[in-house]
């Protein structure tokens, strides 16, 4: 602190003279030092890279886990505690998450950073037309905790029918009733079990509740974590005003776990004769290459994009594609197929709540956060408020989820970085900014929960970033469902509270859509193809199911069909996408995988 104060006074000595100057200097120094305290006393586990590299050639680990994201960090840490005599190695391509990831309100600012893989979809001429290069950015967390270090922290289970569908597709043990214990356990762990949780105050909650109630929808607030028709405030994985990166919970007391950071897995080493996985080839950022061996098994937890990429690089995937890439096919499986994602459609509405927020107020709010970890920077605005509808109106199982944001009039702090982070073309951003100069904005984002369009992931010729074909709107039903969702927004416009606040849909000037009359189906179809994008929930690219189903990659115990000692534990195994944000389901997959492994190898009680 003394050095900090000396540097401040050296820069501007006169104002810090006298009693008041000394007191002010203490205050300034305290505020500056607060930035360093955001992590509190938490320490990320050390990097074991040097130790692993220096081990003798041929040294084996019992289990190698690839990917320290939401699933991998849980899996590796729990196994290291259950089996203290095992050598377990966790390999992560990224590093420790930065301080910016700790602040909940900065979730959009972490996109396209060093904590983000920043994947891009392959242009198809049918979707993402309003984005640079006609390609949507698919942010995925890179570093310890994976996407839990950059996501919206929203915790929802989905609907019970989502998991019944997994079971009915030939996966015993994966029905909702089989998984409830895992959901309950993690909700206790993350302390989100209280249905009377006070939450955050925001007048928009009441405004939106009033509108939905007028349309005869129930408000569930914080009651339960299922996604059912009605409105809801979702719980966030935050603690003391900061992001709760899931890895933080699981990396406590993991002194027995080896963790390699900044290390890419090039491929899985497989004996082609007996089709047995026995290790991985790694490349560290320093350029070091090494083969590392596993006595029991290799587990891929690299996520729905990197896991299929690794499988194909290792000779497991569609035979015709692998041969085209010059890779010997060891096992012909539909790896990279069945890609499903929640598509989100940003709609912007004007309001008469023309409140402005000056840069000085932003500074004060940031100071409030630094001092107390409270205020707007400790939340994600109204993004935790959502509504669910069934456009077919025959069930409590929703097919559309509505997210919300709001922007002050002439917002110079959030709106532009948010739109740029999504990757929109400059002229579209400018069109929205011009409207924001006139009005405060309400963002309503219908989200397609069960898309019928399915994408694919392929290897690129460079073998670096894979080719992601989202195939958005390939199935016409997805367009029809979005049209029904927009019709629902029209109904919200007609509610008393929306009329009172003059909340109305705005016409965003999109060059190719301007030829259509605003609010017509043709306008909205054009708008969808330009403005719809991902909400960062890709799943399904290593589909779980019985081996006789030619579209599956792993069985119900998550073992890759036809390959010994190779397992997949992440969102890529989901046969169908749950009807809500996918973090909770991904954690459950990892928890269940721990029990599957314990059953296979036997286990002593956890220490």
Separation of CA 492 from chain center? 29
What is the distance between the alpha carbons of residues 527 and 513, in angstroms, rounded to a whole number?
7
What is the distance between the alpha carbons of residues 445 and 435, in angstroms, rounded to a whole number?
18
What is the distance between the alpha carbons of residues 246 and 238, in angstroms, rounded to a whole number?
10
What is the distance between the alpha carbons of residues 586 and 583, in angstroms, rounded to a whole number?
5
What is the distance between the alpha carbons of residues 96 and 408, in angstroms, rounded to a whole number?
34
Measure the CA angle with vertex 361, ends 358 and 366; round to 5°: 130
Smallest CA-to-CA distance from 138 within 536, 470, 539, 583 is with 536
The first and second tokens of residue 305, run together, are 């994009």
Alpha carbon of 335 to those of 120, 136, 329, 555: distances in Å? 19, 22, 12, 13
- Are the CB atoms for 51 and 223 separated by under 8 Å? no
**What would you report as the CA-atom Rg of the chain, rounded to the nearest whole angstrom?**
25
Other beta carbons within 10 angstroms of residue 353's beta carbon come to: 18
By DSSP bridging, strand 230-233 and strand 385-389 are antiparallel
- Are the CB atoms for 300 and 268 separated by under 8 Å? yes
What is the distance between the alpha carbons of residues 97 and 273, in angstroms, rounded to a whole number?
41
Q: How many CA atoms lie within 13 A of 147 on its CB side?
A: 28
What is the distance between the alpha carbons of residues 8 and 553, in angstroms, rounded to a whole number?
60
Smallest CA-to-CA distance from 350 within 437, 432, 440 is with 440
Whether the CA torsion 83, 87, 90, 95 is positive or negative: it is positive
Would you give the DSSP letter of residue 544?
B
What is the distance between the alpha carbons of residues 558 and 578, in angstroms, rounded to a whole number?
18
Alpha carbon of 505 to those of 112, 256, 370, 527, 587: distances in Å? 29, 56, 37, 13, 37
* Tokens 């509190």, residue located: 40
Q: Which residues contact 303 (CB under 8 A, 6 or more apart)?
A: 67, 69, 140, 146, 147, 570, 571, 572
CA dihedral 372, 375, 377, 378 (to 10 degrees): 70
Question: Residue 260 — φ and ψ, nearest 5°?
Answer: -100, 125
Separation of CA 394 from chain center? 30
Q: Which residues pair with 258 in a beta bridge?
A: 89
Query: Could you write out the three-class secondary structure of 77-95?
Result: HHHHHHCCCCCEEEECCCC
What is the distance between the alpha carbons of residues 533 and 130, in angstroms, rounded to a whole number?
10
E strand or H helix that includes residue 354: none
Query: Could you write out the three-class secondary structure of 233-262?
Result: ECEECEECCEECCHHHHHCCCCCCEEEECC
The reply, when asked if residue 265 is annotated as ligand binding, is yes
- Could you tell me which residues are annotated as the binding site for FAD? 265
- Could you tell me which residues are annotated as the binding site? 265
């Amino acid at each position: 602190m003394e050095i900090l104060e000396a540097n401040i006074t050296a820069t501007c000595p006169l104002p810090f003279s006298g009693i008041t100057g000394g007191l002010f200097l203490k205050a300034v120094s305290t505020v500056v030092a607060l930035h360093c305290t955001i992590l509190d006393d938490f320490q990320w586990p050390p990097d074991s890279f040097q130790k692993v590299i220096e081990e003798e050639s041929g040294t084996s680990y019992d289990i190698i886990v690839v990917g320290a994201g939401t699933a991998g960090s849980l899996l590796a840490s729990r196994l290291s505690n259950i089996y203290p005599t095992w050598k377990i190695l966790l390999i992560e391509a990224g590093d420790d998450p930065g301080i910016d990831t700790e602040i909940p309100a900065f979730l959009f600012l972490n996109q396209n950073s060093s904590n983000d893989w920043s994947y891009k979809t392959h242009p198809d001429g049918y979707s993402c037309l309003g984005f640079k290069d006609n390609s949507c950015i698919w942010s995925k967390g890179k570093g310890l905790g994976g996407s839990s270090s950059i996501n919206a922290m929203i915790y929802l289970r989905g609907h019970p029918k989502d998991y019944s569908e997994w079971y009915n597709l030939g996966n015993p043990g994966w029905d909702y009733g089989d998984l409830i214990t895992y959901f309950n356990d993690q909700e206790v762990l993350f302390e989100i079990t209280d249905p009377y949780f006070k939450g955050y105050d925001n007048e928009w909650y009441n405004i939106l509740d009033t509108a939905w109630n007028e349309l005869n929808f129930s408000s569930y607030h914080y009651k339960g974590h299922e996604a059912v028709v009605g409105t809801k405030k979702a719980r966030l994985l935050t603690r003391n005003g900061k992001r709760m990166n899931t890895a933080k919970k699981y990396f406590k007391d993991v002194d027995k776990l080896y963790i390699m950071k900044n290390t890419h897995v090039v491929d899985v080493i497989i004996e082609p004769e007996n089709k047995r996985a026995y290790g991985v080839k790694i490349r560290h950022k320093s350029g070091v290459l090494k083969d590392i061996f596993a006595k029991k098994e290799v587990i891929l937890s690299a996520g729905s994009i990197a896991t299929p990429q690794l499988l194909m690089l290792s000779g497991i995937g569609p035979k015709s594609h692998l041969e085209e890439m010059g890779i010997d096919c060891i096992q012909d499986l539909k790896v990279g197929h069945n890609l499903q994602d929640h598509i989100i459609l940003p709609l912007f509405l004007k309001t008469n709540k023309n409140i402005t927020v000056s840069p000085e107020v932003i500074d004060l709010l940031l100071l409030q956060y630094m001092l107390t970890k409270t205020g707007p920077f400790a939340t994600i605005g109204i993004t935790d408020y959502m509504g669910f509808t069934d456009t077919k109106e025959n069930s409590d199982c929703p097919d559309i989820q509505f997210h919300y944001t709001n922007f002050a009039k002439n917002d110079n702090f959030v709106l532009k970085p948010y739109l740029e982070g999504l990757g929109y073309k400059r002229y579209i951003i400018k069109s929205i900014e011009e409207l924001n100069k006139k009005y405060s904005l309400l963002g309503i984002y219908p989200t397609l929960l069960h898309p019928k369009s399915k994408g694919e992931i392929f290897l690129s010729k460079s073998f670096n970033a894979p080719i992601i074909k989202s195939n958005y709107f390939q199935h016409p039903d997805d367009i029809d469902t979005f049209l029904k969702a927009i019709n629902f927004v029209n109904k919200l416009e007609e509610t008393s509270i929306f009329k009172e606040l003059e909340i109305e849909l705005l016409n965003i000037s999109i060059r190719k859509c301007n030829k259509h009359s605003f609010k017509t189906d043709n306008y909205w179809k054009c708008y969808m193809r330009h403005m719809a994008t991902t909400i960062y929930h890709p799943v399904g690219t290593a589909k779980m199911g019985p081996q006789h189903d030619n579209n599956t990659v792993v069985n119900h115990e998550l073992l890759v069909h036809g390959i010994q000692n190779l397992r997949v534990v992440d969102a890529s195994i989901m046969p169908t996408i749950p009807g809500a944000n996918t973090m909770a389901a991904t954690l459950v997959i990892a928890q269940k995988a721990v029990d599957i492994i314990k059953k296979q190898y036997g286990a002593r009680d956890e220490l």
